[in-house]
Structure 1
Amino acid sequence: MKIAFYGSSLLSAYWNGAATYYRGMLSELAKRGYEVTFYEPDAFERQQHRDIDPPDWAKVVVYPATAAAVEDVVARASEADVVVKASGVGVFDDELLDGVMTLARPHAVKIFWDVDAPATLSALRGGGEAVLGRVLPKLDMVLTYGGGPPVVKAYEGFGARTCRPIYNALDPTTHHPAPPDPRFEGDLNFLANRLPDREARVERFFLEAAARSPQRRFVLGGNGWDDKPMPQNVRRLGHVGTNDHNAFNGSGLAVLNVARDSMADVGFSPATRVFEAAGAGACLITDAWEGVELFLTPGEEVLVARDGQDVAEHLDALTPERARAIGEAARQRIVAEHTYARRAADVDALLKQEAAAKRERSPA
């Protein structure tokens, strides 16, 4: 089957945390025989900060962020057996969603794939996302980056026929243990772009921990932090490309994960960083969110913190030997249970089931 996927970017992780998720999911679907075409706009300087070249497992169409170009790529939806519009493209989201679902063939499987379901649902509740609200009942399914039962219930309440969480996962060929790199050496490494709905939690879990532990080295990677006041023991790196993520995760005593506000409130939404760090064998400290134990066992495979004081106490109790043991336990758990190959098997089954049902309903 041919998949037409309209998303933010496959080629660049610059201000685009979904890139790793897209790559993991779509590369595995390609291995299962799907022909993938990914449509991404030339926007937000992402094309100037590419992490990868166009892969051999997908055709990537980069289009200008103009109305005329959008109209052209929307028309290509009629060529596909599966049409996917992802959330958060960043430009012309409504036009893309309305257009591709209108022009999709009658037998095509039509999907809205939400990589920030809590934020989207909040907008729907507040009267926003008018186009999505109108189109949603006409779609075959909604797939989400996470969210668990609360997100499924909410989407079904807004008229979705089917909603299934397809969680982040690990591609072991991409994220794996790597030797420490002096550029990233520290006691606690944290990788995150500066976003309004995460900044307060970063202050609480990362900066407070740094202030409580002046003798320790804190390393911060990600965009947008240049003018943020920070303790002197925090070293800012700016953007860290995906090619350096393994070394970044493997060069600290521990690695921190901090969820965005909406993800923490809903729970059941482990970030890509969780799986990347675990795949690299890093000792992960995460802020508390509901459902963490479904992915990693607290105290054995991950350390869970309620605030910056907890983070600082976890660091004080860590020896290099215990950190390695926790990281290796996490790596083994994730490799065994949470890979993109497993996620793709679930999506493959969903797509084939829906395609067969559509043919049966309308055999002509």
Structure 2
Amino acid sequence: RSRNDQVVTDLRLYAKRICRELMLFIATLQEAFARRAQQNRATVMPGYTHGQRAQVVSLAHHLLAYVEMLQRDVGRLEDVHDRCDVLPLGSGALAGTTLPLDRRAVAEELSFASISANSLDAVSDRDFVVELTAACALIMVHLSRFAEEVVLWTSSEYNFAELPDSHATGSSLMPQKKNPDVLELVRGRTARTIADLSAVLILLKGLPLAYNRDLQEDKTALFDAVDTTMTSLAAVTDVVRVLRFKRREMREAASDPGLLATDVAEYLVVRGMPFRAAHQLVGAAVRRTVDEGRTLRDISAAEWREMTELAQDDIVDLFDVDTALRRRELPGAPGPRMVSRQLVRAATLVAKTRRVVTVLARQPVAAKEVGAAVGTAATAGREPARRSPRREKSKG
């Protein structure tokens, strides 16, 4: 017997289970985002590019963007699970064995989809460790993006949201401070998972076939990435559930007439003006209002007609933010009907993920138990209990 194929088998079993647990954690977070989106379908806010107000969107549409982001993470974890689902047991130290083993029977017993095709590759392959660590790193990047937004939104400068006292900390010096430490830690720990990914890649880059003791060190990075990602997913889920959005302040920011400049240009395009000309005309109008201390909303229909005969009296109706949202009804857009579709899609994705996890586990009862553990952990902010594979002993 050899520890070389035993340890990598154990590691693959662990990685498969972690993929499923992470998928359930993500589904729980997606569900939280969708629930808050449902509650904020009518909440308008600015969308941003380059850190500047750009166009009007809804808070629901903004939150549902994270559902899509996380769904790509689910897809990556499914892919990682598939590549973990190969049994290396029977490869021995590196050259198999002369014993008449039934590897396919063992694969079935251990719930592996297939057996490895090359014993040298089987005992030295840690691609799946790289992929799982990479999946964790990208999940953390997505969580970090949300964390950064909430840090900004809870600042006095944005004032779009507020964390409850239970999810913020004070200052040892400044009595007025309310710091979003949980989210700052998620943002900071993202660097750790990226470092874990770099560590595994650097570890593997110079290894000849087949097994080398260097491979013992892949566990440190993998376990850290997994632990960090699971606790961060649970923490962010909790934040999403309790974060208080300031609808009035968001609407006030979204009411900036400049956010509807593109709508004016498109209004003119629909009436026959080439877009470049429309862009230039509206840009000139914006500069004029800035010089005069006015806004686009202050320009009368008569003034618009002086600029172009294509303008009608209804051009001034463009500056209502709710109407502006209702005009955006292309698939994937932030219009109310499209957001309704996106909410249905979010619920479908969550249900599908949970079904997929049950199928991948090949043990429906166990999958339900994992789901319950994940739900409890997401609520309490801690990860479900699990055993890690043992570290290798000495083997040549």
Larger helix share, 1 or 2: 2
Which structure: larger Rg? 2
Q: Give TM-score scaled by structure 2 length.
A: 0.24
Q: Give TM-score scaled by structure 1 length.
A: 0.26
Larger strand share, 1 or 2: 1
